[in-house]
Amino acid sequence: MVEKYNVRTDLALEEKERFESDNVEIPGVLLQEQYDEEKDIRITTVTIETENGAKIMGKPVGTYITLEAPKLIDADEDFHSEISEELLKYIRFLIRHEDMETYSVLIVGLGNRQVTPDALGPYVVDHLNITRHVIREYGKYAVGDAKVKLVSAIVPGVMGQTGMESVEIIRGVVNETEPDFVIVVDALAARSSKRLNRTIQIADTGIHPGSGVGNHRNAVNEETVGVPVIAIGVPTVVDAATIVNDSMENLIAALETSEALRGVGVVMQGYNAAEKYELVKELISPHLNGMFVTPKDIDETVNRISFTISEALNKLFTA
Amino acid sequence: MVEKYNVRTDLALEEKERFESDNVEIPGVLLQEQYDEEKDIRITTVTIETENGAKIMGKPVGTYITLEAPKLIDADEDFHSEISEELLKYIRFLIRHEDMETYSVLIVGLGNRQVTPDALGPYVVDHLNITRHVIREYGKYAVGDAKVKLVSAIVPGVMGQTGMESVEIIRGVVNETEPDFVIVVDALAARSSKRLNRTIQIADTGIHPGSGVGNHRNAVNEETVGVPVIAIGVPTVVDAATIVNDSMENLIAALETSEALRGVGVVMQGYNAAEKYELVKELISPHLNGMFVTPKDIDETVNRISFTISEALNKLFTA
Amino acid sequence: MVEKYNVRTDLALEEKERFESDNVEIPGVLLQEQYDEEKDIRITTVTIETENGAKIMGKPVGTYITLEAPKLIDADEDFHSEISEELLKYIRFLIRHEDMETYSVLIVGLGNRQVTPDALGPYVVDHLNITRHVIREYGKYAVGDAKVKLVSAIVPGVMGQTGMESVEIIRGVVNETEPDFVIVVDALAARSSKRLNRTIQIADTGIHPGSGVGNHRNAVNEETVGVPVIAIGVPTVVDAATIVNDSMENLIAALETSEALRGVGVVMQGYNAAEKYELVKELISPHLNGMFVTPKDIDETVNRISFTISEALNKLFTA
Amino acid sequence: MVEKYNVRTDLALEEKERFESDNVEIPGVLLQEQYDEEKDIRITTVTIETENGAKIMGKPVGTYITLEAPKLIDADEDFHSEISEELLKYIRFLIRHEDMETYSVLIVGLGNRQVTPDALGPYVVDHLNITRHVIREYGKYAVGDAKVKLVSAIVPGVMGQTGMESVEIIRGVVNETEPDFVIVVDALAARSSKRLNRTIQIADTGIHPGSGVGNHRNAVNEETVGVPVIAIGVPTVVDAATIVNDSMENLIAALETSEALRGVGVVMQGYNAAEKYELVKELISPHLNGMFVTPKDIDETVNRISFTISEALNKLFTA
């Protein structure tokens, strides 16, 4: 199994694709696909069942549901409403509290409100119907329903603003307020720019920044916060180095295979994968570290998708 | 001792003034004043020493330092810089860690960032130099100083946004990150509109919303969060009912004492304080509950003072 | 016709009420009322037909439609949707372009985005579907409709931020871009706190800050900008002095009429309206000038109503 | 003179560098450099003197002063203060009103406040001392100085929000308020990521988006608005396609020159510049159009530099 160079992605779907060309099955990893042609919505479920599968995938054991919908970037309210319904279905599936009449949930809006593509989590929290304080003060009939859910939310901020890991804040708040489970919403990094703002990933594994690249925040999962953690993420950026890397791989591949360039091909074949990676790395500007790529209309897109996700959550908790 | 009608104030200074006309000492309460005529800065220290004093004052035992400076509302950078220095002095006095080479502190920006006069706490946090994560990762020499302080900060949001009491979030974060002490910054309600945005109160007692009016958030103090809590507050609003109340008291007083209105005076004297309070309350619109009074240029004022306070804190932690 | 003391209101409805107790008709001013009991929506149309009527009312000749709906402060999406439909109806009535297949309109969001109750106009503009640039570049079929409207918008900011009168900016932009008419959206001052955030006024007269109190911005109307100006306003604040004034009038009235206070009554009657006004004015703190009263949850209310108004406008321009 | 592939830059300095390797002079273009080693500040003045020079450079005739200071990205207040002084000097030089006791100036903060790296212009305006309205109402002695400047400012927003070209709004406002000149502040696109947030360009030519790439906003210059236009810009983004392009050029260059790859070199030399450009373009994802690259801490950097620029302007107008 030949792996492509390891570039950052937060999407299990994209990790899976790294192995795709080989068309082999990864032991311990299941893949299921569904495609709604009319709406152009693709649902991919990646289930990592074993620790071995987790190791190969670089992601923890669990279920990752990806919803891909190119029309997510459009300003079509009806379509966003449909996506909310879809989303609601899969979140409910993963929270496994669907049969409970009542439960309490803490929603965490991760990310930096001051950096547009990273503001998804905070924006989702802005639109939520918060009920925990009302129900605690006036009882569950105050919100007109016996099957009520206690919804609380927090926007912890990023480490540069707080001096704390997000997981420290979340664990502290979970210990104090004892929700049945946590939902974290976060902006993700994709490997492919074509997935930006068109994809939503829902996972029952929490968030593991370390599985990506260069980020020393700790994981936010059942192990670290003490209750199950559902993660909802939307890729809004691609690492700058990733985009350059991909393009240069394309160039090398073209050189290797081109009829017209047979001579080059011969020479390039003298390089193994690692050497080619080194060559590429050398040619990428060191200034690209800590840089990301994002679309110019990211403000509108993040606004819209944050609204769509909060709608799904608001419906989920009143259903 | 005849008390004026009980209207809301978060300032110990104003509580003290309720008894002023009688010119008596309150047992267990000390008052010290200093006035810098040149800069027009008045420092008043109210020390509540006994539980009896606390009961009379409606505020817990502790030290309340009030800095009044009419020029705080001006856009004079040099003056704000001087105030930062003054502030720094009194905060250092109250934290009682002044002789420690190193300590860790959590700054909490209370209030609602979305409502201008309540955004003081969040704005102060925006301007802080956060260092805890850097020192934990790279050691204290990374910030170029052995006498380093570990500074962390959080903006918990308000209950309508989070579903949680601020104290729940703060206690959770304190338990996780174990700062030596906490500084909470909050917008306050004054009794007198002439104090708005011209006054800063520093207290070693934490925040006790219950001592004010109609606010069921719990106290944030050493008892509830486990470490000492210093509170820095600036009155940015007056309760609408307070302002009406005060004006009507003035009217009644005028009626009672006016030479021209001797006849009225006679009749009004037939009312005792409680009856007059009832009369006034009846005439205040019920729509004024939950309303506040604030100046039209509150955006500029809150911006400026938040900067002044964060400057004081930044200097304190690097000194 | 005895007038109450002149306090600030931007609502024609409230100007009319000043004369109500006398139950007389004002020459040149028509009043029409409609009440939908089921939805608890009251529509009042004040038509000022003559210059004499305008003089008495302190507002220019024109039509003022007021929609009062106590449930506007609730977070009920369906109700807000109904209000959007109502609003749409009355705006369409006043713009008098209803029979035009195509027109161009400039929406102006007046007010200060940094001061929550004054941010209504800017927030409405945030939610608008802007089309002028698309239609100019790609033609009217680009937006899928031949009956297309060219929608442009601007948030001019307030004089303290720009150094310019709003009318200077608007007139400049109108001269350059030549819209068929202008719609200005602004936060208003009411006289009565019970109308705050529950009332929407639509007028074909533009905005006349001078008709209120203490505001030297110039009028924004057909005369000053060259095209018809529709104004949509929501009262979000009451002048602090107004609230105090009203309460003190109530007190004086109580003193004058109370059986128990007959002696006082006699004396107060020695004062005429002007003298009583002077007495009241003297007793109101000078610090109240430039202060306003607004509810604590103004952030949520302004968010919701701005969305409701922008929905009405978006529907209007695609219908 | 062999040109590199045409990639977008708003910096005259970078246009000049395209020709650098050839070490030739461009007719009609002067270059002056100054370097302060101690502060590590480099000042480069590109003067385009002739229309021919303008054609080669792809930028209009005029003076472009670039200040490069790597320490601009640091949070060092003293250094930012020094940069303000430098900046002030060069802006004063270009405005050519330095000898006037009094003048009026309109500052325009271009860009989208909602997209962090594009918010530079709006943030600069937030920090300005606006005086026009005060001087017009109270006379020039109201601000304590006879040599007073009338400062006004506007944040026009971007076309997607307003439906109007920025130049339409600016021209309208200039016609109405007749400032002596205009200063536009805008975030720029650089070609090299190493210049991001470390460079400030001041030009007396206004803004010419068309000279860059894919942007159909019209120029803002003396010709289009009627008064001289000074432009202050800071590169905060690189076009995504540019970064990929540069890296791939590096790869191709490496292949062509590498000792170890002599065989490849031979074949690549069979391609001319245009053919190589086509090859590269083919391999860059079409999804990169409309995407930009920016650093993760762009919020802090833009905040800091906007403050530095506004300080320079505030000092300029009170000097």
pLDDT tops 70 at residue A179: yes
Chains in contact with C, counting 3 or more C-beta pairs less than 8 Å apart as contact: B, D
- D49 and D63 in contact (C-beta within 8 Å)? no
The alpha-carbon gap from A215 to the nearest alpha carbon of chain B, in Å, equals 13
Give pLDDT, residue A83.
Answer: 94
Q: What does the CA dihedral D137, D140, D142, D145 come to, rounded to 10 degrees? A: 160
State residue D186 phi and psi, 5-degree precision.
-150, 150
Q: Establish, for the pair of chains C and D, how many residue pairs have beta carbons separated by less than 8 Å.
A: 98
pLDDT tops 90 at residue A193: no
pLDDT tops 80 at residue B21: no
Nearest to A247 among D114, D284, D291 (CB): D284
Q: How far apart are CA C256 and CA C266, in angstroms?
A: 7
Give pLDDT, residue B8.
Answer: 67
What six digits make up the tokens of A32?
């299921």
* A296 contacts on D by Cβ (under 8 Å): 115, 290-292
Chain D residue nearest residue C126, CA to CA:
D161
Q: C37: Cβ–Cβ under 8 A, 6 or more apart, which residues?
A: none
Confidence band of B143 (pLDDT split at 50, 70, 90): low
Give pLDDT, residue C215.
Answer: 43
| Burial status of residue D3 (CB atoms within 10 A of its CB: 0-12, 13-18, 19 or more) | exposed
Residue-wise pLDDT tens digits, D46-60: 999 999 999 888 889
Picking from A135, A164, A166 by the largest number of B CB atoms within 10 A of its own CB, the best residue to mutate is A164
- D197 and D234 in contact (C-beta within 8 Å)? yes
pTM for the model stands at: 0.90
Q: How far apart are CA C100 and CA C97, in angstroms?
A: 5
Q: How far apart are CA B224 and CA B174, in angstroms?
A: 11
The alpha-carbon gap from C85 to the nearest alpha carbon of chain D, in Å, equals 24
- D288 and D107 in contact (C-beta within 8 Å)? no
- Answer whether C192 touches B (CB < 8 Å): yes
Look at residues B220, B240, B14 and name the one whose alpha carbon lies nearest to residue B111.
Answer: B220
For the segment D298-304, the average pLDDT, to the nearest whole number, is 95
pLDDT tops 70 at residue A259: no
User: In this structure, are strands B181-190 and B103-109 parallel, antiparallel, or unpaired?
Assistant: parallel
The amino acid sitting at B24 is V
The least confident of A166-175, A274-283, B120-129, D212-221 is: D212-221
Give pLDDT, residue A294.
Answer: 93
Q: Establish, for the pair of chains B and C, how many residue pairs have beta carbons separated by less than 8 Å.
A: 128
Confidence band of B150 (pLDDT split at 50, 70, 90): very high
Nearest to C173 among D130, D150, D172 (CB): D172
Residue-wise pLDDT tens digits, B220-237: 999 999 999 999 999 999
- Answer whether D214 touches A (CB < 8 Å): no
Confidence band of B243 (pLDDT split at 50, 70, 90): confident
Give pLDDT, residue B96.
Answer: 77
For the segment B188-217, the average pLDDT, to the nearest whole number, is 78
Q: How far apart are CA C196 and CA C302, in angstroms?
A: 10
pLDDT tops 80 at residue A277: no
Picking from B105, B114, B138, B154 by the largest number of A CB atoms within 10 A of its own CB, the best residue to mutate is B154
Chain D residue nearest residue C109, CA to CA:
D162
Contact D171 C168 (CB under 8 A): no
What six digits make up the tokens of B56?
């009379």
* B131 contacts on A by Cβ (under 8 Å): 163
Confidence band of A4 (pLDDT split at 50, 70, 90): very low
- Answer whether B215 touches A (CB < 8 Å): no
Chain A residue nearest residue B134, CA to CA:
A163
pLDDT tops 60 at residue A42: yes
The secondary structure of chain D in percent helix, strand, coil, rounded to multiples of 5, reads 45, 20, 35
In chain A, % of residues over pLDDT 70 = 79
- CB neighbours (10 Å) of residue A309? 30
Nearest to D247 among A116, A248, A294 (CB): A248
What six digits make up the tokens of A282?
């050398």
- A290 and D297 in contact (C-beta within 8 Å)? yes
Give pLDDT, residue D215.
Answer: 43
Residue-wise pLDDT tens digits, C214-253: 344 589 999 999 999 999 999 999 988 888 877 777 777 7
Q: What is the mean pLDDT, run by run of 10 residues, along chain C of 319 residues?
A: 52 78 75 93 94 89 95 89 94 80 94 96 97 89 76 96 96 97 95 90 86 56 95 94 76 65 55 66 70 92 96 91
pLDDT tops 60 at residue A5: no
Q: D248: Cβ–Cβ under 8 A, 6 or more apart, which residues?
A: A247, A248, A251, D280, D283, D284
Give pLDDT, residue D191.
Answer: 85
Give pLDDT, residue A75.
Answer: 86
Give pLDDT, residue D58.
Answer: 85
Give pLDDT, residue A187.
Answer: 96
Residue-wise pLDDT tens digits, D220-276: 999 999 999 999 999 999 988 888 777 777 777 776 666 555 555 555 556 666 666
The alpha-carbon gap from D205 to the nearest alpha carbon of chain A, in Å, equals 25
Residue-wise pLDDT tens digits, D78-89: 899 999 999 999
The least confident of B238-247, C251-260, D286-295 is: C251-260
* A154 contacts on B by Cβ (under 8 Å): 156-157, 162, 164, 169
- Answer whether C157 touches D (CB < 8 Å): yes
Give pLDDT, residue A2.
Answer: 31
pLDDT tops 60 at residue B301: yes
- Most confident range (mean pLDDT) of B49-58, D122-131, D210-219 is D122-131
Give pLDDT, residue D26.
Answer: 84
* Alpha-carbon distances of D263 from A259, A277, D267, D278, rounded to whole Å: 15, 20, 7, 22
Residue-wise pLDDT tens digits, D140-192: 777 666 678 999 999 999 999 999 999 999 999 999 999 999 999 999 999 88
- D120 and D111 in contact (C-beta within 8 Å)? yes
Residue-wise pLDDT tens digits, B25-57: 788 999 999 999 999 999 999 999 999 999 888
pLDDT tops 90 at residue B175: yes
More confident position, A136 or C265: A136
Q: What is the DSSP letter of D140?
A: G
Nearest to B264 among C267, C295, C296 (CB): C267
Give pLDDT, residue D1.
Answer: 27
The alpha-carbon gap from A209 to the nearest alpha carbon of chain D, in Å, equals 15
Give pLDDT, residue D259.
Answer: 55
Q: What is the DSSP letter of B214?
A: S
Helix (H, G, I), strand (E, B) or coil at D201: strand
pLDDT tops 90 at residue A197: yes
* D257 contacts on A by Cβ (under 8 Å): none
Give pLDDT, residue A216.
Answer: 40
* A132 contacts on B by Cβ (under 8 Å): 163-164
Chains in contact with D, counting 3 or more C-beta pairs less than 8 Å apart as contact: A, C
Give CB contacts under 8 A, 24+ apart, made by B83-88: B83/B41, B83/B200, B83/B308, B83/B312, B84/B308, B84/B309, B84/B311, B84/B312, B84/B315, B85/B312, B85/B315, B86/B41, B86/B43, B87/B200, B87/B202, B87/B232, B87/B308, B87/B309, B87/B312, B88/B312, B88/B315, B88/B316, B88/B319
Chain D residue nearest residue A248, CA to CA:
D248
For the segment A154-164, the average pLDDT, to the nearest whole number, is 96
Give pLDDT, residue C203.
Answer: 96
* D244 contacts on A by Cβ (under 8 Å): 243-244, 247
Give pLDDT, residue B50.
Answer: 94
Mean residue pLDDT across chain A: 85
In chain D, % of residues over pLDDT 70 = 79
State residue A97 phi and psi, 5-degree precision.
-115, 15
pLDDT tops 80 at residue B177: yes
Contact B114 C115 (CB under 8 A): no
* Alpha-carbon distances of D110 from B88, C171, D65, rounded to whole Å: 38, 20, 20
Nearest to D295 among A263, A268, A290 (CB): A290
